[in-house]
Structures are given as C-alpha cells and as structure tokens.
Structure 1
Amino acid sequence: MSGEVSIAALTDSVADFIRDQGLDGVSTVGQSMGGRIVLELARRGVGGDTVALDPGGFWSHRELVVFGATLRPSIALVRALRGMLPALLSSPVGRTLLLAQLSARPWALSKETVLPDVRGLADSPATGAAMDALTKGPTQQGAPAGTPPGRVTIGWGRRDLVTVPKQAARAIELFPDAVLHWFERCGHFPQWDVPREAARLILDSTE
C-alpha cells in the first residue's frame, strides 16, 4: 500500500486483496489495529465470520490521550534499544520492563514468542503513521444488527492496558450482533498470554 496511512485506506487495501484473490466470504481475524480493520470490513459487508481481538477504535477522548501519551514513548524506547532487544528479552526482568504495558505476565513469555513482534514494532517505517491513524483519525463506526456478513466475535483481555476493558461495552453497543469473549489473566496480546485459548476461540468462531 502507498499513500496515506489511515484505517480507511488500510481497510481498502485488505478489501481489494480479498476481491482480487476471489476470497469473497473469507473469515477474517485481527488483533489490535488488525482487530479494528476486520471489524471495519464487517461493517462494510466484506468477508465472512469475523474475530477481533482487543480491537482499537473504541476509546473515549481521555483514554485516547492516555493511549498516545504512553504508547508512543514505549515505541521510541524499543527503537532506541533495537540492537539490545535479543539480550533484553532473554531475561524475565527485561521482558517485564519492556512489555508490562502489553502483557499481563511478560516475565512468563519466551523470547522466541515476543521478539518477532517487538522487532516488527521497532523496524516498521509506518509505525508512527499507524499511531497517527489510531490517535488522530475517527473512532470506529458500528454495524447495525443483521448487517455483518457473518458471525462477529470480539475477544478482550481482562488486564488490557492499551485498549482497556471498559471499551468492550462500547464495541458491543456498536456491533450488537457480536459475541464477547473475555480472556482472563490476559493483556493486549491474547496470542502471547493465552495462545491456546485464543486459537480455540478463532477456530470455534470461524468457518
């Protein structure tokens, strides 16, 4: 994708890919910004069953300010420590210091689990633009009952410090057909904290 980075433009790109590949009706799954994108696809009537894990887009104004003020410095720190990430993430103490905002139990994770995601955050040239899309763009619109193309499932971590749990109520209000699943002892990354439960939810909620 080239040009402006926005939720609308990113969703356009995914929708175009689905159409161009002849994947109409395909199930879609996303987490965080990806969760927001798959919900936007469902709102547009694109795809089939939808699973969104800890999706963005449902912040209040105050929550959005806190999100930007806390996550941007964290991303800057990860970028500054890029060369030291393998060593830092090899230690439970290092994982706790770097990932406490993202995981409910960062010390229990393995380096192999988290290093690819953290490196991606540090290396992506579009990370800043993506943050702008989330913090400066419009919040997520909803889909009236009966309009999504398939089942909608929203998973949320009880200990999410990025998209805080109270936002789940707003998501369900905007997507009244959605089924809400709570991940206990889980932060913003269910695929880190409760991978088996997250995988089971995806498999059970899609065709």
Structure 2
Amino acid sequence: MHHIRCGAGKPLLLIHGLGGHWQSWHPILADLAATREVIAVDLPGFGQTPKLAGETSIRTLADETAAFLHAHGLDGIDAVGSSMGARLVLELARRGGSVGGVVALNPGGFWQGWERHAFFSSIYLSIRLLRLLRPVLPAVCASPLGRALLLAQFSARPTKLAPDIVTDELCSYVASPAFDELLAQLAYGEEQQGAPRNSIAHPLVIGWGRRDRVCFPRQARRALALFPDAQLHWFDRCGHFPHWDAPAETAQLILSALAGARGLSRARHEDRPERSLGLHLPQSTSR
C-alpha cells in the first residue's frame, strides 16, 4: 500500500475518501505533522496503490488496511478518515485491535431509502462528467466558476479552494480503476454494522459538515445510534470535506480529540434532533 510519512511524534494514520489519494489531506498535513508522525495512505485502487485482484469493498479495504498496519508494526495507531475513509476507520474501530483513537469526518454508509439512490446517481453522473472533461480539467479547476460548478456538492466554499488541490483530487477520481465498483458497493453493498455501547475504549469522534450535500446531516443521528460511544462535532458552514472548508478547525479537532483533551464534552439537547450532540472547540488560526 503506497503511503507517505512526515512529521514526528505519535503516529497518526490518514485515510482518504472515494477516488482520492494521500494528497487529499494537503490542507491540514502541515498542522498535523507539527506534533504527530503522519502516515497517509493510498488505498488499493487509488493513487499509486494497485487495485485488489478480487472484490473492492469496505470489508476488503478494512482487511488490507489492517494487514498493512500489522506489517508495519502500527497496530493500535490513531486514525482519521474522510467520507468513505471515515466509514473505513469506523469499521476498523468496530473490529478492534487495528486502530486506537478515531476521528471520522462525514462518514458514508448511513443513508436510508431515497438517500441511497441520490448518493449513487449523483456521484455516478459526476464521475462521468469528469471523465469527459479530463483533457481540460486543470483549466476548468483554475477558474473560480469552474470550481463552483464542479464542487457544489462537496464544498460549501468551492471558489476559495486552491486550484492545484482541486485538480489533483478530481484527476485522482478519474484515474481510479476501483471507483465504479466501490461506488456501487458503498451504495448497495453490505451495510455498516455498529458497535455496542462501551465496546470502544479509545476516543471516537464523528465530525459532520452542516452543509454536506453528499452525506446529509440527518444521517449523523444514525451514525451515533450505531456507534453510541462516539461524540459528534458539527462543522458550521462546511460541506462534505471539513479539512478543505475549515482546515484549521479540523486539524484542531483531530489533535485535541486524539490527545484526550478534557475540553471535549457533549452539548446540551437542542430542539432539532440533528443538533442534539456536539463537540465545541475554540476556533484556531491557520499556521
């Protein structure tokens, strides 16, 4: 499994989302590497890691990730995942043994009914559009209007994103040989299992953007129902990628949560069910 290592300190694993690669984490990589040794992987079928010979699914990716960690003496490592990668780190936490503390950012897999079809059809159409645009993607991504049109579903502030990061990410989607199979598996394959209360001893935090148009915010309640040991952090004015829309806040959440910071507490109940739990951390400034 291709990966990069940077920084120094307690190891921290980063797992990208569907179609992404390790470069997806660029907006927060330096902040994390300032105090942790960061290990960012390319999952099988993405980036520079070859596709698996057999099925590509959350189950097989979890198996491969666990084997990678064991082979490198990293069992029990703290882990952060985004989107599909967030579901993957939740699955590893559920299994136990491979990872320690976990932060899952906007995890997929908690949709119901029409949401499942909306997820599949919107991403299916998006990837086909990107493949048609492949020869001109860098030019389109260089334009604020182009970023707004291509990333409206993923970011609450696409025009503010760095063109090179957007180009790298979208080109990675197009190049992935595992994208289509894994998209179908995520939408219609095996459903995510949960972990009973008090079965996960390490810190477990689920972060969710309030403006997520891929995994709708209402799905956070279902994630908490399946993982009752988790705490929930809401990202205001953020879409599906908080580490893009709010990198300073995301890095601070990760470092505080996985350091066992005492400032993390459940918020009081509010009227809207999807706002019933939250972690509230002070805003930080980018380095």
> Which range, TM-score by smaller chain?
over 0.9
Aligned to 2:119: 67
Contact 1:32–1:54 under 8 Å retained in 2: yes
The alignment's TM-score, normalised by the length of structure 2, stands at: 0.70
AA paired with 1:117? E
Q: How many residues align?
A: 207
Which secondary structure does the structure 2 equivalent of 1:89 belong to? helix
- The 5 A counterparts of 1:22-171 are 22-45=73-96, 46-171=98-223
**Structure 2 residue ranges without an equivalent (≥5):** 1-51, 260-287
**Structure 1 residue ranges without an equivalent (≥5):** none
C-alpha distance in structure 1 between counterparts of 2:122 and 2:190, whole Å = 20
The alignment's TM-score, normalised by the length of structure 1, stands at: 0.97
Aligned to 2:57: 6
Which secondary structure does the structure 2 equivalent of 1:49 belong to? strand
Shift of 1:2: 2.6
AA paired with 1:36? R
**Larger CA deviation: 20-29 vs 166-175:** 20-29
AA paired with 1:22? G
AA paired with 2:92? L
Which secondary structure does the structure 2 equivalent of 1:51 belong to? strand
Contact 1:89–1:95 under 8 Å retained in 2: yes
AA paired with 2:243? Q
C-alpha distance in structure 1 between counterparts of 2:234 and 2:148, whole Å = 23
**RMSD of aligned alpha carbons:** 1.0
Contact 1:47–1:149 under 8 Å retained in 2: no
Aligned to 1:203: 255
Shift of 1:59: 0.4
Contact 1:114–1:192 under 8 Å retained in 2: no
- Residue 189 in structure 1 maps to residue 241 in structure 2: yes
C-alpha distance in structure 1 between counterparts of 2:229 and 2:220, whole Å = 13
AA paired with 2:136? M
Shift of 1:149: 4.5
Q: Deviations over 1:156-194 (max 9, x none)?
A: 000000000000000011111101000111000112111
C-alpha distance in structure 1 between counterparts of 2:246 and 2:191, whole Å = 28
Identity %: 52
Q: Which has the higher contact order (CA 8 A, sep 6+)?
A: 1
Q: Deviations over 1:21-59 (max 9, x none)?
A: 111210011001000000000000131000100001100
Contact 1:42–1:149 under 8 Å retained in 2: no
AA paired with 1:28? A
Give 1 or 2: higher strand fraction: 2
C-alpha distance in structure 1 between counterparts of 2:121 and 2:165, whole Å = 26
